[in-house]
Amino acid sequence: MSVEHVNYLQPKTLQELQKGLKSLTEKSALLAGGTDLMVSIREKKPQIDTYLSLCNINEMKSITEIDGWIRIGAMVTHTEAALNNKIKTFFSALSMACDHVGSPQIRNKGTIGGNIMNANPAGDVLPCIMLFNGEFEIFNSEGSLRRISVNEFLSESGKTTLNKNELLMAIWLPIKPDKKSCFVKLGSRTEVTIAQISFCLSWKRINDEYLDIEAYIGAIDNKPLKIDEINEILGNRPFETESLDALSTFLSNKIRDIRINRKRESKLKIYEHEKLYKERAVKGVVYDAISFMKY
């Protein structure tokens, strides 16, 4: 890395942060944990003029409960999110997802905000935020804050809509105490694995009835996909083989359609039979995820 003409800013207050944001150019980089950024710098070797490091902004590091919402600062690490009792209680899917991002070293450094802003289709956090109908708190170089929905935050192609003088300050999740949730990911190994398919699910259980089931499937398209039909498919018998197979077939067809309609060839160098892997493997993901509804 060249030492010349590089600014390294590490603001401690929102005023300093605002000033820092104002000074950014197209060549600048916001630095959270660095677990994505350091890899891309190493691969692409861009000339960076300014690093704006977010690690000292207290407003971005806390998890708080406010008026029926949980506010999670963008600089909260995966380790902190996975261990947090409020997240465990009200948003198990997010806690489960964060508990399996990368390795312990990645979780100790990688942040919720960095994961969301990277907007990788295989990222584990965004499907959960969408499942819980979360909102995104955005801070800009004028020092103002606004909260936006996922539809405003993500473009059609799955990219984030923020400009270079804005950043993600926090995410807000509405607490629904009667809803339970879970997250399952399929990767090429059990630990330290990028999702081939991620699946998150929430439901309400009243006696033996399951209501209001919601689900998102990730890593199969450029952004997480809502499964609108899930209540209809599972009906009131989510554990019966017939229902599970119906959901598996439905998702398998969906993945196949996405594959067939994809205009751009996958960047991954994979064999023909590997392309069909997700369509077949989604059944295991469905069986795993639905089994969590028993508890």
Partner 1 sequence: MKLNFILNGENMNIDVPGERRLLDFIREDLHLTGTKEGCSVGECGACTVILNNKAIHSCMTVVGQLEGGELITIEGLEKNGELDAIQKSFIKKSAIQCGFCTSGMVMTAKALLFSNPHPTDEEIKKAISGNLCRCSGYKEIKESIKDAAYNSNKEES
Ligand X SMILES: Cc1cc2nc3c(=O)[nH]c(=O)nc-3n(C[C@H](O)[C@H](O)[C@H](O)COP(=O)(O)OP(=O)(O)OC[C@H]3O[C@@H](n4cnc5c(N)ncnc54)[C@H](O)[C@@H]3O)c2cc1C
Contact footprint for partner 1 (CB under 8 A)? 1, 3, 6, 8, 10, 31, 33-35, 38-39, 42, 48, 51, 53, 55-56, 79, 102-106, 108-109, 191-192
The site that binds ligand X (CB under 6 A) totals a number of residues, namely: 28
| Phi, psi (rounded to 5 degrees) for 156 | -55, -40
Residue with smaller CB distance to ligand X, 110 or 238: 110
Structure tokens at 126: 């965004």
Residue with smaller CB distance to partner 1, 80 or 166: 80
SS3 content of the chain, % helix, strand, coil (to 5): 40, 25, 40
DSSP conformational letter for 266: P
Is residue 174 near ligand X by the rule CB under 6 A? no
Residue with smaller CB distance to ligand X, 100 or 179: 100
Among the listed residues 77, 101, 59, the one whose alpha carbon sits nearest the alpha carbon of residue 191: 101
Q: Which of 17, 24, 32, 282 binds ligand X (CB under 6 A)?
A: 32
Q: Is 143 helix (H, G, I), strand (E, B) or coil?
A: coil
List the single partner that 114 binds among ligand X, partner 1, none, CB under 5 to 8 Å by kind.
ligand X
Residue with smaller CB distance to partner 1, 192 or 258: 192
H or E segment to which residue 13 belongs: none
H or E segment to which residue 184 belongs: strand 179-186
Q: How far is the CB of 123 from partner 1 (least distance, A)?
A: 15
Half-sphere exposure of 175 (CA within 13 A, CB side): 15
DSSP conformational letter for 294: G
Kindly identify the residues of this chain, within the stretch 69-88, that bind ligand X according to CB under 6 A: 74
DSSP per residue over 71-121, as a string?
Answer: EEETT-BHHHHHH-HHHHHH-HHHHHHHHTSS-HHHHHH-BHHHHHHHT-T
Is residue 134 near ligand X by the rule CB under 6 A? no
Kindly identify the residues of this chain, within the stretch 191-220, that bind ligand X according to CB under 6 A: 194
List the single partner that 105 binds among ligand X, partner 1, none, CB under 5 to 8 Å by kind.
partner 1
Q: Which of 115, 181, 196, 248 binds ligand X (CB under 6 A)?
A: 115
Beta carbons of 233 and 243 less than 8 angstroms apart: yes
Residue with smaller CB distance to partner 1, 53 or 160: 53
Q: How far is the CB of 189 from ligand X (least distance, A)?
A: 11
Provide the binding-site residues for ligand X, judged by CB under 6 A: 29-37, 39, 54, 74, 101-102, 106, 109-111, 113-115, 117-118, 123-124, 167-168, 194
